[in-house]
Amino acid sequence: MANRSNYDTGAIVLRKLGINETYQLAMYLLDQYRGTILSCRYSISPRFAPAESRTQLEKAVKVAVVDTIMRHPMLQVGMIDATSKTPSWIQLPSLDLTQHIKWLYLEDHTDFEQTVQETFRVQLDEYFPDLSARQPGWKITIIRQGDAPVMEVLLTWNHPHFDGAGAKVWHEDFLEMLNAAENGAYERTGLDGDIFRLPEAAPLLPTPIESLKSFPLDVKFFAKTIWEEFRPQFLNRGVSQAAWCPIRTSPYKTQYRAFFMDNASLSAILALCRQNKTTITGLLNGLALIAFSLRLDSTVAPAFQSSTIADDRRNLPPAPPDAPWGSSDRAVGNYVTQLLHRYETELVARIRAKLPADSSEGIDLTADLQRELWAVSAQNRLEIVRKLEAGLRNDVVGVFKYVTDWQKTMSDMAKKPRQFTWLVTNAGVLNGGKSDDQKWSINRAQFGLSAEIPAAAIEFAPISVAGCGMCVSANWPDCAVDVKFGERVMADLERWLAQLAS
């Protein structure tokens, strides 16, 4: 039930933040994480493409944004008591859309692609308005050049509001609303210029999964997790931990790189994955293992751990009948979980034995290395499948519910050895709509995270658009990972994916 907060007589509290929302807020408050972006390239409907239709284009976009806001209540809410142990979501009376929609028009001589990438990199590290500013933590930036038939839409958000899967739903629904706005009906209840008055009735927010389902923990799993968390530092000598990359908290700066694969190359890679009983996520974990084995000496990294981010929406009960987002898998909310992978000393030594002595210019994957790659990638997929089949049993979120002070927990984590060398968070396949020349569609997507200070040394974030290829991005904290090292690892992945595709 919504109720008025004791701290602010004007704010109607909707609910407390859930576990995922609270720990991601703690990272933001501690400056361990800043922003996340899912950017899509939209083909503009011919009706709105001419330069003289700019006003109509901006109106159509504004109306589509408002319609998407109404479908997804997490876009409507603010936060109260953010720095306390129990922050809450509050109902807002209105949104100032000038704070959420920015247009960037480029001159013809400006490099469009370069501007998109530069804007992407800058926004990853930007702060959101003060959490007491009574505006939700998300914005879209639209980049357009002249009367080009495309525009780039960057959705940048503060992670407590929703996750990468939620951002993918946002873009798919925004695309649907743009096509629905084709009829030119720009009147919307509550929309007055750039001020959107929200309905007086309290919005129904997606419920945190821990309030809907139980998280059974086996005694052995729970005991092992607690031991790894609280054992004395002098016993903390796991050779698979990323001791080669100590956690440093400042100065905060994200290094971000990305490369794109066309659809023919992606189709060839997917066929190989099916043939070898794995997925893109499994393959990227396998390629990363070879890259880090190549780039790091056995004396500093005899073994590795990585983490795969998974989506817990599949474990949600059906959405309430009055939920404006429809089904549970279409909730713009926060339902991430993660699972751990270990690559033991024997495996890493075997891979290193198959690497050439000189790797300064990069290497190709030999037949021997490819056999190792597909075996590791298939094993990785198997571990992910087992996690998915186990549902919420021994899910890390079930352990998180015993944390009472997330800011202290995340602050303490930054003082420990780094656990993961890399992380893979795959936002999956985005439906960009039919390539009908008369309609809006999406033909490219790019996903990116700001540096997560206590998390993996390098984080990989692939995303693809159905029928249109894939983007693979990587981020790392500038204060902890050498730029040239990060770039070499990314170059390895790009080279090897191209080799496999050919």
pLDDT one-digit tens code per residue, 256-307: 999 999 999 999 999 999 999 999 999 999 999 999 999 999 999 999 999 9
Tokens 């994480």: give the residue.
Answer: 33
Which pTM was predicted?
0.95
pLDDT for residue 4: 43
pLDDT for residue 1: 40
What is the rounded distance in angstroms from the CA atom of residue 469 to the CA atom of residue 467? 6
Helices (H), 45-125: 54-71, 112-124
> How buried is residue 317: exposed, middle or buried, by Cβ count under 10 Å (0-12/13-18/19+)?
exposed
> Residue 471 has which token pair?
């983007």
What's the mean pLDDT in 9-20? 87
Q: Is 277 left (phi over 0), alpha (psi -120 to 50) or beta?
A: left
Instruction: Find the Cα–Cα–Cα–Cα dihedral 62, 327, 171, 494, rounded to 10°.
Output: 170
Contact call for residues 458 and 493 (beta carbons, < 8 A): no
The candidate with the shortest Cα–Cα distance to 256, out of 131, 380, 154, 341, is 154
List, for residues 220-265, the tens digit of each pLDDT value.
988 887 777 766 655 556 899 999 999 999 999 999 999 999 999 9
What is the rounded distance in angstroms from the CA atom of residue 493 to the CA atom of residue 379? 19
List, for residues 396-425, the tens digit of each pLDDT value.
999 998 899 999 999 999 999 999 999 999
The candidate with the shortest Cα–Cα distance to 164, out of 251, 37, 276, is 37
What's the mean pLDDT in 204-219? 94
Q: How far is CA 493 from CA 132, 284, 363, 382, 462, in A?
A: 42, 8, 11, 22, 12
- The sign of the dihedral angle between the CA atoms of 127, 255, 40, 32 is negative
Count the helices and strands in the chain (H runs, E runs).
12, 19
Of residues 221 and 31, more confidence is placed in 31
Share of the chain above pLDDT 70, in %: 95
Domains and CATH numbers, the chain: 3-197 (3.30.559.10), 210-316+334-431+441-501 (3.30.559.30)
pLDDT for residue 130: 85
List, for residues 152-200, the tens digit of each pLDDT value.
999 999 999 999 999 999 999 999 999 987 666 677 889 999 999 999 9
According to DSSP, residue 354 is labeled: T
pLDDT for residue 185: 65
